[in-house]
């Protein structure tokens, strides 16, 4: 499927149109139509109606609570970013302190080595 899509893009072909047949409510094709055909059409209509009802409910919930949920989400993201920056600063301070300790230790041992070298020669 991915290979077919890549081939389509390389050939500069447009996207195929969306298949909207499943969203239509066709009546049985035969006249007058069998009971099974009408039952299938009725099941499809019920499914479409339920889908639209759920979409309507979701939109109503989004209008009621969406903005507040977005603000809360942004607040949490900002807090996480602040915490990450704080952790980064703490790690940088620890790194600087460790490098100071290393330098002091190496300088001290360097002085000892120099003194031992002068005594040796």
First to last CA, the chain: 78
The reply to whether 21 falls in a domain is no
- Domain of residue 73: give its range: 37-120
**Looking at the predicted structure, is the pLDDT value of residue 121 above 90?**
no
The reply to whether 42 falls in a domain is yes
The reply to whether 17 falls in a domain is no
Q: Do 28 and 41 meet the contact criterion of CB atoms below 8 Å apart?
A: yes
Task: Round to whole Å and give the CA distance between 27 and 25.
Answer: 7
Per the prediction, the chain carries an average pLDDT of 92
% of the chain with per-residue pLDDT over 70: 100
Task: Round to whole Å and give the CA distance between 9 and 5.
Answer: 6
For residue 11, give both structure tokens. Answer: 């050939």
The reply to whether 113 falls in a domain is yes
The total number of structural domains that make up the chain: 1
Long-range contacts of 93-102 (CB under 8 A, 24+ apart): none
Q: Classify the C-alpha dihedral 26-30-36-39 as positive or negative.
A: positive
């Amino acid at each position: 499927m991915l290979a077919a899509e890549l081939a389509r893009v390389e050939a500069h072909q447009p996207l195929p149109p969306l298949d909207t047949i499943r969203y239509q409510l066709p009546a049985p094709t035969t006249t007058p139509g069998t009971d099974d055909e009408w039952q299938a059409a009725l099941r499809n209509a019920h499914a479409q109606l339920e889908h639209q009802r759920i979409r309507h409910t979701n939109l109503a919930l989004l209008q009621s609570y969406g903005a507040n949920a977005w603000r809360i989400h942004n607040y949490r993201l900002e807090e996480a970013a602040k915490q990450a920056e704080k952790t980064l600063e703490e790690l940088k301070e620890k790194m600087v302190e460790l490098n100071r300790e290393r330098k002091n230790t190496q300088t001290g041992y360097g002085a000892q080595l120099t003194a031992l070298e002068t005594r040796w020669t």
